Amino acid sequence: MTDVAWITGASSGLGEALAVRMAREGWRVAVSARSAGKLEELERAAKDAPGSIHAMPLNVTDAAAAAATIARVEDELGPIDQAVLNAGSHIPVRASALKIEDFRALVELNLMGTVHCLSPLLARMTARRSGRIAIVASVAGYRGLPTSGAYGMTKAGLINLAEALKPELDGLGVTLQIVNPGFVRTPLTDRNPFPMPFLMEVDDAAAALHRGLQTDRFEIVFPRRLAYIMKVLRCLPAPLAFALTRRLVPQE
């Protein structure tokens, strides 16, 4: 039987490109996002692929809806072999105009939205002692960066969450991976008003992600050059790190 994948945040960008790639390789791919129309277009576009795409709209901030969608995927397509929890967004924040609602929105979507999907997935996968889950975070979770206080906070939380769960899941038959992309050309990054080093095209990023999903390594990261720079930044003493990140503060 063909393998079954479920991808959230699949109406555009990395999630969409990954869904298309997996369908072309024969997977039955359930795709979820808030935009039903975009998901249906994606489903139709893959009708001649060796695999298939199945639109299953979902707002991941609704925990009950997330559990119901997972149940629907498994009822209609079979047990989920590979889940990619990719739903998320970015809101730039400035210290001079900090808005509580911006933080709440990103926590609900990026962090709790992932947990809403993770909890029912783990209940099913640990019961059958099989399955793979990839949580999409970001290299922005490695160290605090100007304007990324809310976004980076949620991504750092996802990295920590995955690190905390993995040792236990290794003994329960479930493979957990964390995905830390750098800059990928998507509708989200198109809004960025600053230069983005080592910017990847979305199809190249989807190829890198898909290759990583076929391994058992914990962290999938791309592009590697930016990831290495961010890993070094994470290890620097605070005074030196702040001397560097201070240069990234946008000018008023």
Q: Which of the four pLDDT bands, split at 50, 70 and 90, describes residue 224?
A: confident
pTM of the model: 0.92
Positions annotated as catalytic residues are 151
> Which runs of E-coded beta strand occur in 19-153?
28-32, 52-55, 82-85, 132-136
Kindly list the distances between the CA atom of residue 56 and the CA atoms of 32, 59, 182, 216, in Å, as whole numbers in the listed order: 5, 10, 28, 28
Residues across the chain: 252
Query: Rounded to whole angstroms, how far apart are CA atoms 39 and 52?
Result: 12
Instruction: Say if residue 197's pLDDT is above 80.
Output: no
Measure the CA–CA gap between 184 and 188, rounded to whole angstroms. Answer: 9
Amino acid 92 reads P
Number of domains in the chain: 1
Higher pLDDT, 121 or 244: 121
Give 193-197 contacts, CB < 8 A, sequence gap 24+.
Answer: 193/250, 194/248, 194/250, 197/226, 197/229
CA dist., res. 206 & res. 222, Å (int): 10
pLDDT for the residue numbered 228:
85
Question: Per-residue pLDDT averaged across 161-177, rounded?
Answer: 98
| pLDDT value at 134 more than 80 | yes
Residue-level pLDDT at 196: 61
Q: What is the average per-residue pLDDT within 122-144?
A: 96
pLDDT above 70 covers a percentage of the chain that reads 94
Per-residue pLDDT tens over the stretch 23-70: 999 999 999 999 999 999 999 999 899 999 999 999 999 999 999 999
Q: Which domain holds residue 160?
A: 4-248
CA 93 to chain centroid, in Å, comes to 21
Dihedral pair phi/psi, residue 140, rounded to 5°: -65, -15
Residue type at position 192: N
Inter-residue contact 120 to 209 (CB < 8 Å): no
